[in-house]
């Protein structure tokens, strides 16, 4: 499970996940206190305990402009008390992410029922980007945040219709990718592209539908070329 600082700061949620045997990677604030060395310390106060050789460059996912590369390190935390009956003791870690250019830091509390490599924890942390991207597309494409209502029932109806519209875009994009995989020269059909095509061909049909389709292919071809250039430049710089 992955989550932001609101969830990472909730000890009840962490205890429930551990009792359920569900591993987690939850973001926490820099001043979040963790058990270490028989005491409780701020997360950022433990940076001095991380040797320089412990930092590893790991990608937390692919982006439009290359891999999302950061420096990562983690520290084993103490575990206070006994695990819940039937639950595994597991391992507690504090994982630190460092931006390679700005040095900006982010902290995560991690637990897993059995040992896993750092790359696996980083992969879970990177899943948050997918969720945030879905919220962004929901707001930008189907107006999830553009409601002007005051009552809960009205908001519920608006949010339901917006999520239904977003689900339509996702299903349309995934169905097209499964039935007709894009060539290496084109990017995959995205929710944004489906929304553009739906607006031009269905919602308000234009006269020259063929021109819109050719424009869509041209745009996807340019995006694929730009993506390839970004990844090649990143590989050269590394």
Q: Where are the domains of the chain?
A: 2-136, 143-237
**230 half-sphere exposure, CB direction, 13 A CA radius:** 13
pLDDT recorded at residue 182: 64
**Which tens digit of pLDDT belongs to each residue from 18-55?**
888 889 999 999 999 988 888 888 888 888 888 888 89
**Which tens digit of pLDDT belongs to each residue from 48-94?**
888 888 898 888 777 767 778 889 998 888 775 555 455 556 889 89
Q: Scan for tokens 């995006």, then name that residue.
A: 223
pLDDT recorded at residue 29: 92
pLDDT recorded at residue 238: 61
Statement: residue 12 has pLDDT above 60: yes
Give the residue among 99, 103, 101, 121 at the shortest CA–CA distance from 112: 121
In whole angstroms, how far apart are CA 61 and each of 65, 77, 195, 208? Answer: 11, 26, 25, 39
How many residues are there in the chain? 238
pLDDT recorded at residue 81: 53
Which pLDDT band, with edges at 50, 70 and 90, does 217 fall under?
confident
pLDDT recorded at residue 216: 84
Provide, rounded to the nearest whole percent, the portion of the chain with pLDDT above 90. Answer: 18
Q: Of the given ranges (31-40, 120-129, 203-212), which has the lowest mean pLDDT?
A: 203-212
**Which tens digit of pLDDT belongs to each residue from 140-176?**
888 888 888 889 999 999 999 999 999 999 898 888 8
pLDDT recorded at residue 229: 83
Buried b (16+ CB within 10 A) or exposed e, 103-136: eeebbbbbbbbeeeebeebbbbbbebeeeeeeee
> Token pair of 172, please?
């349309």
What value does the mean pLDDT take over residues 222-227?
81
Is CATH 3.90.350.10 what the domain over 2-136 is classified as, yes or no? yes
Provide, rounded to the nearest whole percent, the portion of the chain with pLDDT above 70. Answer: 94
pLDDT recorded at residue 88: 59
């Amino acid at each position: 499970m992955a989550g932001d600082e609101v969830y990472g700061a909730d000890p009840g949620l962490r205890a429930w996940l551990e009792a359920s045997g569900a591993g987690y990677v939850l973001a926490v604030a820099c001043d979040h206190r963790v058990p270490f060395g028989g005491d409780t310390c701020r997360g950022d106060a433990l940076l001095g305990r991380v040797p320089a050789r412990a930092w590893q460059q790991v990608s937390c996912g692919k982006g439009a402009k290359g891999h999302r590369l950061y420096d990562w390190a983690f520290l084993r935390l103490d575990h206070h008390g006994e695990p819940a009956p039937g639950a595994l003791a597991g391992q507690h870690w504090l994982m630190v992410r460092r931006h390679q250019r700005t040095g900006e830091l982010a902290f995560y509390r991690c637990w897993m029922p059995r040992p896993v490599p750092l790359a696996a924890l980083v992969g879970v942390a990177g899943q948050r980007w997918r969720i945030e991207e879905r919220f962004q597309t929901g707001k930008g494409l189907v107006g999830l945040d553009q409601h002007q209502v005051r009552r809960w029932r009205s908001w519920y109806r608006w949010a339901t219709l917006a999520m239904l519209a977003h689900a339509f875009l996702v299903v349309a994009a995934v169905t097209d990718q499964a039935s007709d995989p894009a060539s290496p020269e084109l990017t995959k059909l995205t929710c944004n592209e489906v929304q553009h095509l739906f607006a031009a061909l269905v919602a308000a049909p234009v006269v020259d539908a063929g021109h819109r389709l050719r424009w869509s292919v041209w745009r996807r071809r340019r995006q694929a070329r730009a993506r390839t250039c970004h990844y090649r430049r990143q590989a050269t710089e590394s």
